[in-house]
Structure 1
């Protein structure tokens, strides 16, 4: 189990995997170029252009998805909850009809100043550079909570 943070500057960051995004972008780029100059003609840009653009933008952005530190849990730079309002967190695999890929989500329960408990769910993609277990371990470490709350 991870030890408690020693100072407030320590943090756990989950980013989009740059290597995986580069590989995917290059693959779509090569396919796009090969097909434009080969047999598909006008259909190739429609098939492979949009994924190429998406991964070009993802590669450029750097993409910090989660930031977990002594102040709280952030999602794409926005504070979701501080540790004083944190209730619980867990990773859940949700079955989705017609999908063959894993669908993992971080379910987060927290309170606001009104005293009500709120629940949000955040998708955990396969292109993130940290595993689900590492995210939960970081939440335990910074929130100071034991397994009963998570």
Structure 2
């Protein structure tokens, strides 16, 4: 099912993918259950390893909770940008936004971040905030930037 186009009164919402959260919860739960039900007729070193897999229930619960809550990561609308319901900036104080990759030594995954630059009343210069963009979000980086550009231009009357 396609997304509806952005309008002046719409809100662009980015959430974590519920499907990925539930799949991860199921995998971790299966690992924990299989470890706890494993046959005890093995040597003590391997038994300890197998039983320690029972701790997989902790991330299973975390992913399940995250999937059920299905929180909104970003909300972008005509009033401004919000991150987990916290107001970041309005369009009158907005300077620019861009996506970049944060270099983390030894990291094998992409570490994309959204950088938002904005002004504050009574303060000189501009401020910069960074927000993580995960691979499990239900919208692509390009879609997020398109929504920001749409509402920024809308606020300027373009």
Q: Give the TM-score normalised by the residue count of structure 2.
A: 0.82
**Counterpart in 2 of 1:107?**
115
- Contiguous gaps of at least 5 residues in structure 1: 146-150
Contact 2:6–2:147 (Cα < 8 Å) also in 1:
no
Contact 1:13–1:64 (Cα < 8 Å) also in 2:
yes
SS in 1 for 2:109: coil
Are residue 12 (structure 1) and residue 12 (structure 2) matched?
yes
Q: Which runs of 4+ in 1 moved over 4 A?
A: none
**Counterpart in 2 of 1:123?**
132
CA displacement 1:88-123 (0-9 Å, x = unmatched): 000001221111010000011001112431100000
User: How many residues in Structure 1 have an aligned counterpart in Structure 2?
Assistant: 140
The structure with more helix, counted as a fraction of residues: 2
> How far apart, CA to CA, are the structure 2 residues paired with 1:120 and 1:7?
25
> How far apart, CA to CA, are the structure 2 residues paired with 1:131 and 1:5?
15
> How far apart, CA to CA, are the structure 1 residues paired with 2:151 and 2:129?
19
1:82 to 87, 90, 94: 90
SS in 2 for 1:79: strand
1:138 deviates by 0.3
SS in 2 for 1:137: helix
Structure showing greater radius of gyration is: 2
2:71 to 38, 63, 66: 63
Q: Give the TM-score normalised by the residue count of structure 1.
A: 0.86
SS in 2 for 1:53: helix
Larger displacement relative to structure 2 (23-32 or 48-57): 48-57
SS in 1 for 2:87: strand
- Contiguous gaps of at least 5 residues in structure 2: 40-46
> How far apart, CA to CA, are the structure 2 residues paired with 1:84 and 1:78?
17
